Amino acid sequence: MIMQEISCHPMRFFADPVGKPPLLLMHGMLSSRNHWRLNEAALRSRYRLIIAELPGHGETRPSEPYDVRPDALVEAIEQARITLDIPRWHICGQSFGAGLVLRYALKYPEYVGALVWTNANRLLADPLTPDQLAVLHARADKVDQLGLEGIRSDRVYPGNARYFPAEIREILKHDADGSDYSIVADIIRHALGHVTVRDRVRSLRVPTLLVNGMRERAFQPWRQEAAEMLPFMEVVDLDGGHSINIEQAEAFNEAVMNFLPRYDSHLEVEKKVALCST
């Protein structure tokens, strides 16, 4: 399928032709637009996919100056919606991308039909302490200074994902190896530790589904807390880890397709003027 490509600085978006209800897909750190390869066919059977790509990831190379702080990335998402002339859309995010789509839903609930998110360990955490920030900055410095070696030693490097199917692991490994190391370091330094929405998540009012990878033990306390903070949220627990949409693709697709269609009738609001380049 030929997808329309648009640039909403500092991100890129790849959009299916019009004709179906729109669904935004937002990947996480050291991944790319290819993160959703195993989900696209099932989701596309009903939805018009709009696949976002983070700056410095895949082939997305923003011009300078660029701002990678969470609020700036949320604004890029909103400008993509306006440019694509989408009244309202469903949104889905993985890991760091989950943080971005939750922030989007909190700021622009009137443009969200329903929200799906997966394991995201920073999403409900307290603001980082100075010591925690120092650790994060050291992680960013390692990527900045060592380049490919720093990327490959990072804990979310997809080449180390034992439970990914081999083909998708190789694709995402190739994409991560070819990323812009400086921009990735900037995201780690200026965005990754600041994506939490703990102070406002209780005000979320859009229909929400969490697809939880139960094997990621570190996330399970956050899964429980999220369910308590958002009592209306639906949760599907699957036998997989952090990237549950890859590790259990069929079950993830089924969970999403059992949830989103109930809210397709929500996808109508007024339009604005396009602001991004195509």
Residue 75 has pLDDT above 60, yes or no: yes
Band of the pLDDT at 271, cuts 50, 70, 90?
very low
Alpha carbon distance 31, 37 (integer Å): 11
- Enumerate the H helices of 178-273 as residue ranges: 181-190, 220-229, 244-247, 249-259
Domains and CATH numbers, the chain: 4-125+201-266 (3.40.50.1820)
What average pLDDT score do residues 97-123 get?
98
Q: What is the rounded radius of gyration, in angstroms, for the C-alpha atoms of the chain? A: 17
HSE-CB for 141 with a 13 A CA cutoff: 6
Percent of the chain residues past pLDDT 90, beyond the cut:
95
Position 17 pLDDT exceeds 50: yes
What percent of the chain has pLDDT above 70? 97
pLDDT confidence band for 275 (50 / 70 / 90): low
| pLDDT(273) > 60 | no
pLDDT for the residue numbered 1: 78
Helix (H) or strand (E) holding 102: helix 96-107
222-266 confidence digits (pLDDT tens): 999 999 999 999 999 999 999 999 999 999 999 999 999 999 999
Distance CA 7, CA 226 (A): 33
Half-sphere exposure of 194 (CA within 13 A, CB side): 15
Q: How far is CA 22 from CA 18, 51, 54, 229, in A?
A: 8, 10, 19, 28
Q: Is the pLDDT of residue 48 over 60?
A: yes
pLDDT at 270: 42
Q: Using alpha carbons, list the distances in angstroms from residue 18 to 116, 218, 252.
A: 21, 40, 24
